[in-house]
Chain A
Amino acid sequence: AQSVTQPDIHITVSEGASLELRCNYSYGATPYLFWYVQSPGQGLQLLLKYFSGDTLVQGIKGFEAEFKRSQSSFNLRKPSVHWSDAAEYFCAVVIRGTYKYIFGTGTRLKVLA
Chain B
Amino acid sequence: EAQVTQNPRYLITVTGKKLTVTCSQNMNHEYMSWYRQDPGLGLRQIYYSMNVEVTDKGDVPEGYKVSRKEKRNFPLILESPSPNQTSLYFCASSVGQGSGYTFGSGTRLTVV
Taking beta carbons and an 8 Å cutoff, which residues of A are in contact with B? Answer: 32, 34, 36, 41-46, 49, 51, 90, 94, 96-99, 101, 103-106
Contact = CB atoms under 8 A, between A and B. Distances in A.
A106 B31 CA distance: 24
Interface residues on B, range: 20 to 34
Interface of B: 4, 31, 33, 35, 40-45, 48, 50, 90, 92, 94, 97-106
Contacts of B100: 34, 46, 49
B41 A105 contact: yes
Q: Is the interface of B mostly helix, strand, loop or mixed?
A: strand
A78 to B, nearest CB: 19
B48 A99 contact: yes
Contact of B98 (A41, A94, A106): A94
B42 A106 contact: yes
6 contacts: A44-B43, A44-B101, A96-B97, A98-B97, A103-B35, A103-B42
A90 B43 contact: yes
Given A42-B105, A46-B100, A94-B98, 12 more contacts: A32-B98, A43-B90, A44-B43, A45-B103, A90-B42, A94-B97, A99-B31, A99-B33, A99-B50, A101-B101, A103-B35, A103-B43
Nearest to B40: A105
